[in-house]
Amino acid sequence: MSDVSTTTLIMIRIFDVSTERVFNAWLNPEMMRKWFFTLEGTNKITQNNPQVGGTWEIVDHREGKDYRAIGEYLEIDSPKKIVFTFKMPQFSELEDTIIVELKELKQGCEMTFKQVIHVPHEKNWSESDIEKALVEWHDSTEHGWNLMFMGLKELLETGKISYKG
């Protein structure tokens, strides 16, 4: 049995569109399949039931493998806040919590993204082993979201995505 530690990733992005457009991109399956954990060309499944207690699922096909991400909506306050869980069952039963908060600006909006990341580790790990794992998970998670948010920005501001993730 392994132990678990947590680290929190916080990212802030500015979008040149309304809070409603960004909010919608997180919940509308047609939008989600173009940027959220997947791309249109590799997406197999995007389904969700965007209400408190409702679930979402995305299956992305990469390099001959299917990657499945699932979660449950915990809070939806349109167009300001979405809280949901994020889990990839093939890798871990651990569930992260993601909080997306949107704030209207004079022009566009600001998105504050927060993910509480659960990092598994062995009982015999030292503090520095745990610290190293937390930093690695934090940085690789941040890298992944950074790519997704670049795609999201392009999708929202130009209507298409040109990058290949």
DSSP result, the chain: --EEEEEEEEEEEEESS-HHHHHHHHH-HHHHHHHSSS-TTTEEEEEE--STT-EEEEEEEETTEEEEEEEEEEEEETTTEEEEEEB-TTT-S--EEEEEEEEE-SSSEEEEEEEEEEEEE-TT--HHHHHHHHHHHHHHHHHHHHHHHHHHHHHHHHS------
Dist. CA 72–CA 51, nearest whole Å = 9
Mean pLDDT of 55-69: 96
Dist. CA 154–CA 62, nearest whole Å = 22
Mean pLDDT of 131-142: 96
Instruction: Enumerate residues 6+ apart whose C-beta is below 8 A from 126.
Output: none
What's residue 165's pLDDT?
41
What's residue 162's pLDDT?
61
Say how many C-beta atoms besides its own lie within 10 A of residue 120's C-beta: 15
Asked which of 66-80, 95-109, 148-162 is least confident by mean pLDDT, the reply is 148-162
The answer on pLDDT for 160 being more than 90 is no
The answer on pLDDT for 163 being more than 60 is no
Answer for the pair 136, 127: CB distance below 8 angstroms, yes or no. no
Dist. CA 86–CA 73, nearest whole Å = 9
Q: Beta strands 96-104 and 109-121: pairing type? A: antiparallel
**Degrees, nearest 5: CA angle 142-145-151:** 145
